[in-house]
């Protein structure tokens, strides 16, 4: 009697069913993986098309707006003064933009970084917001899941800013005296320290060994060269580089241990 004639539930048949099920599961998982890869490739490709479109159009609008406004007001921009101003202040921000692009693009992924560079306020909002979202979702940098979480986070954050600012502008007359009152002034002057205090707890707690050295080195640097406090955003690069070098040393030690 062949296996096919064995009563249901016998070992042989169960074994065959198990094998068939395994094969089916494997095929099913394989199909799912292929689908996932296809979905991600399609998503990524379109993100770049959409991101470039959004960047291109926003650039045109932002550079074109002063000319349109100039036409409306009856005074076009003085290009000589623009060139002079660019040399005096623009070059610093150009260098800063290159650094921001190199550092933040890997942090945010493609979709998140396109949006973040369009909507701005990276250091004081978008980067901490994306890092917080990453922590809550538990995703790892460089994974497709992190790309999704980062894009969701930056898009939401940008929309909230746009809505808050639009509401604020609409309610400017009643809001101005409240928000600019001497009582509340210190509170709004310290939004960034409040943000970094909370974020510091979250990150230092989990990486105490890694955090101490950059904090001590940066504190000493700012104590010895107080004028650097006006260039804090540029000091992020050496601070980040130091942290990454330390992280690499720790990572190698852990691997060899």
In the complex, the smallest distance separating the C-beta of residue 257 from other proteins, rounded to whole angstroms, is 14
In the complex, the smallest distance separating the C-beta of residue 4 from other proteins, rounded to whole angstroms, is 37
> Measured from the CB atom, is 12 or 84 closer to other proteins?
84
Residue 20: Cβ-neighbour burial (10 angstroms; 0-12, 13-18, 19+):
exposed
Contact residues for 250 (Cβ-Cβ < 8 A; gap 6+): 209, 210
> Measured from the CB atom, is 17 or 62 closer to other proteins?
62
Our finding on whether 28 is near other proteins (CB under 8 A) is: no
Residues 84-143 within binding reach of other proteins (CB under 8 A): 84-86, 88-90, 93-94, 97-98, 100-103, 105-107, 109-111, 113-115, 117-125, 127-129, 131-133, 136-137, 140-142
Residue in 2, 73, 174, 257 binding other proteins, rule: CB under 8 A: 73
Our finding on whether 34 is near other proteins (CB under 8 A) is: no
Rounded Cα–Cα distance for residues 111 and 9 (Å): 53
In the complex, the smallest distance separating the C-beta of residue 28 from other proteins, rounded to whole angstroms, is 13
Stretch that binds other proteins, among 1-9, 12-20, 23-31, 146-154 (CB under 8 A): 146-154
In the complex, the smallest distance separating the C-beta of residue 15 from other proteins, rounded to whole angstroms, is 31
DSSP state letter for 7: P
Query: Given the structure tokens 């959409």, which residue do they identify?
Result: 50
Q: Extract the tokens encoding 73.
A: 């007001």
Which of 236, 254, 248 has the alpha carbon at shortest distance from 210?
A: 248
Q: Extract the tokens encoding 237.
A: 């690069």
Which of 202, 124, 125 has the alpha carbon at shortest distance from 157?
A: 125
Our finding on whether 202 is near other proteins (CB under 8 A) is: yes
Stretch that binds other proteins, among 1-9, 11-19, 21-29, 32-40 (CB under 8 A): 32-40
> Measured from the CB atom, is 13 or 161 closer to other proteins?
161
In sequence order, which ranges of the chain are alpha helices (DSSP H)?
A: 11-73, 79-85, 91-119, 127-137, 144-170, 172-179, 185-189, 191-206, 208-224, 232-256
Our finding on whether 13 is near other proteins (CB under 8 A) is: no
């Amino acid at each position: 009697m062949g296996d096919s004639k064995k009563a249901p539930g016998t070992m042989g048949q169960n074994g065959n069913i198990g094998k068939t099920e395994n094969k089916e599961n494997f095929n099913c998982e394989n199909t799912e993986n292929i689908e996932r890869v296809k979905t991600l490739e399609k998503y990524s490709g379109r993100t770049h098309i959409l991101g470039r479109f959004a960047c291109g159009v926003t650039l045109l609008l932002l550079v074109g707006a002063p000319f349109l406004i100039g036409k409306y007001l009856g005074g076009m921009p003085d290009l000589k003064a623009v060139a002079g101003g660019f040399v005096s202040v623009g070059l610093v921000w150009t260098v800063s933009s290159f650094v921001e692009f190199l550092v933040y693009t890997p942090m945010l992924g493609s979709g998140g970084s396109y949006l973040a560079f369009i909507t701005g306020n990276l250091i004081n909002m978008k980067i901490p917001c994306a890092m917080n979202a990453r922590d809550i979702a538990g995703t790892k940098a460089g994974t497709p899941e992190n790309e999704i979480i980062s894009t969701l986070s930056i898009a939401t954050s940008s929309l909230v800013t746009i809505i808050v600012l639009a509401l604020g502008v609409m309610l400017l007359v009643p809001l101005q005296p409240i928000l600019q009152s001497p009582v509340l002034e210190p509170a709004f002057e310290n939004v960034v320290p409040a943000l970094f205090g909370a974020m510091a707890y979250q990150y230092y707690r989990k990486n105490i060994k890694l955090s101490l050295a950059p904090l001590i080195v940066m504190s000493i640097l700012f104590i010895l060269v107080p004028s650097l406090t006006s260039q804090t955003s540029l000091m992020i690069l050496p601070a980040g580089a130091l942290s990454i070098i330390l992280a690499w040393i720790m990572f190698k030690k852990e691997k060899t241990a």
